[in-house]
Amino acid sequence: MSACIVILSLLAAPAVAAEPEATPAIAAESASGPEEEVGPVGPDRSAPPVVAEPDVLDLPEPERHVLSDAVEVLHVRVPGVRKYTVSIMPRHGRAELELGRHVEAALGWLLDVATEAHDGAELAEIEDLHEVDAWSSLRSHYGMLAVDGPQEELDLGLELLRDMVDGPTFPKSDTKRYVKDQELYYLLRGPSQPSDVAGALLSYAWFPPDHPYGERPELAQLGSVKSKTMQSAYRDWLDDGPITVLSVGDMTYADVKPALEAMLAGHGTAGEPAFEMDCPAPTTSRVLAAAMPGQEQVTLRLRTTAPSRTSDDNVAAWAGSYVFGGHFLSRLNANLREEKGWTYGARASFSRSTHRGILTVSVDVKSENVAGAVGEIEGELQRLVDDGVTESELSLAQRRLVASWNESLVTADDAHGRYLSAVEDGESVADRRARYLALAEVRPEDVQRVAAEHWGADGVRLWVLVGERDAVQAQLDTLGWTAEWVDPTAAILGKVPAATP
């Protein structure tokens, strides 16, 4: 017992002996008087931090190499990226070929399925084993045969690309499957998807049927989609006009030149590449609706005009549309999602080309909130007209958009997309960069002027609503609107009534 008491006493005793003695330095400080007072340590939060203007990365123009009077190569070396992309682009597309909508679509879709060198199963196995992807497409004014993969598989990728150029086979089984899939889409899958129906109504009501952009699908034409037809159409397309090759990755032009010269010798025809065509925008407003039984939500879309890329107002419209609905913190999303809680997300996309500009609003809301959502969208557009935007909103738009430009060389895919967009529009990289630089010059009054011209209450509106008919009609009655009702299958097939002048 006494031993335990002694141990406990020792444990409870203050550890005075463990404290260090005062050092001479401490004694000297005491002798010299009180220390000088030091201000608070840390960042100064009395005012917002100074944020420097973002630099707009000066991207290099692609190297231009001429293979023949019909073929040019645009090569972009991007040091440090892991993968490459090489695309061969015949510069005539669906609008120029006039083969028929279904033949053209099938041509772009089936071109990469199989070649004389490899059947479909072999090609798929090679792609999987080597992380290489061969792909194709046919668009309005150009097409693409392309390959991408890891840098160390460049030779293999170029070999597969050569196989596509030399001998796509369009297997009968795959062609028949494609035709069946198209029939199923137009008659079953498409009409059952609210977003597809809404997209079809937007497109077919905006572009007239006598224009290449408004060409309607004709199911009877699917019978002309055959293997032999595809092979003949492919040869005509490949040699119908000039060819541009876009080569992007951490390699030199010398790494791709021999293969490109060999695979493109004798292909293409000297001439001018095709570009976007003029197509007048609608001049009257419309409301189109499609009945989708059993839907709790309504797919709501709005399309209106905007400045073209060649307009002096195109940068101001770009900035204003971004503030309006171009990002997660936009006015539209802050209103309909954050404040009202009516949707998971609302957005507005601004597309512009040489001849036209389009602003499209997309949101899905419960049926009972349709009239309210329409009112809020119109209200946000009118707020742009009445009040414009703030300097801080413009600053945010500039920084975010410039950031996207400055990330152009992060991957080969990023770089390919950035340079491809310039090729599509017939612009230099400097032309594209100039618009990002011009964002810093946009003032609130510039946005307000554009909004007044294009987005005011008297502007052209194409509203589309897809949902339960009775619920949608009740909301239309609340708005005082009369809609043109279109069957979903008719909408997917482009059978949209012509606009009334």
pLDDT tens by residue, 62-91 = 999 999 999 999 999 999 999 999 999 999
Whole-angstrom Cα distance, residue 6 to residue 232? 105
What distance lies between CA 5 and its chain's CA centroid?
Answer: 80
Write down the pTM of the prediction.
Answer: 0.87
In the predicted model, is pLDDT for residue 3 greater than 60?
no
Beta strands in 324-480 (DSSP E): 347-352, 357-366, 462-467
pLDDT for the residue numbered 226: 93
pLDDT at residue 313 is higher than 70 = yes
Q: What angle do CA 55, 61, 62 make, to 5 degrees?
A: 140
What is the phi/psi pair of residue 23, to 5°? -85, 160
Cα 81-424-61 angle, rounded to 5 deg:
50
Query: Confidence band (pLDDT; 50, 70, 90) for 501?
Result: low
pLDDT at 469 over 50: yes
Strand order in the sheet with 71-77: 63-66, 71-77, 243-249, 83-90, 143-150, 133-138
pLDDT at 427: 96
- Helix-helix angle 370-387:314-325, to 10 degrees: 140
**Residue 11: is its pLDDT beyond 80?**
no
- Using CA atoms, how far apart are residues 346 and 333, in angstroms rounded to an integer? 5
Under 8 Å CB-to-CB from 124, ≥6 apart: which residues?
none
Mean local confidence (pLDDT), 270-296: 95
Task: Give the pLDDT of residue 34.
Answer: 52
Average pLDDT of the chain to the nearest whole number = 91
**Which one has a higher pLDDT value, 17 or 176?**
176
Average pLDDT over residues 340-350: 96
- Tell me which CATH code domain 63-264 carries: 3.30.830.10
Sketch the domain layout of the chain as residue ranges.
63-264, 286-492
Single-letter residue type at 362: S
Whether the CB-CB separation of 226 and 175 falls below 8 Å is answered with yes
E strands within 91-188?
133-138, 143-150
Q: Would you tell me which CATH number, out of the four given (2.120.10.30, 3.40.50.720, 3.40.190.10, 3.30.830.10), belongs to the domain 286-492?
A: 3.30.830.10
Phi, psi of 427 (to 5 degrees): -115, 160
Give 44's pLDDT tier (boundaries 50, 70, 90): confident
Rounded alpha-carbon distances, angstroms, from residue 326 to 348, 354, 380, 429? 5, 21, 13, 23
Q: Are 142 and 424 in contact (CB under 8 A)?
A: yes
Tokens 């809404």: give the residue. 198
Instruction: Label the pairing between strands 243-249 and 286-291.
Output: unpaired
pLDDT computed for residue 6 by the predictor:
38
Q: Give the HSE-up count for residue 353: Cα atoms under 13 Å, Cβ half-sphere.
A: 15
pLDDT value of position 35: 54
For residue 253, pLDDT over 70 is answered with yes
Domains 63-264 and 286-492 share a fold: yes
3-class DSSP state for residue 430?
Answer: helix
Q: Are strands 286-291 and 133-138 parallel, antiparallel or unpaired?
A: unpaired
| Per-residue confidence band for 101, with pLDDT thresholds at 50, 70 and 90 | confident
| 268: CB partners within 8 A, 6+ apart | 68, 70, 71, 90, 238, 239, 241, 242, 243
* Residue that has been written with the tokens 């008919």 in this structure: 469
pLDDT tens, 408-444? 999 999 999 999 999 999 999 999 999 999 999 999 9
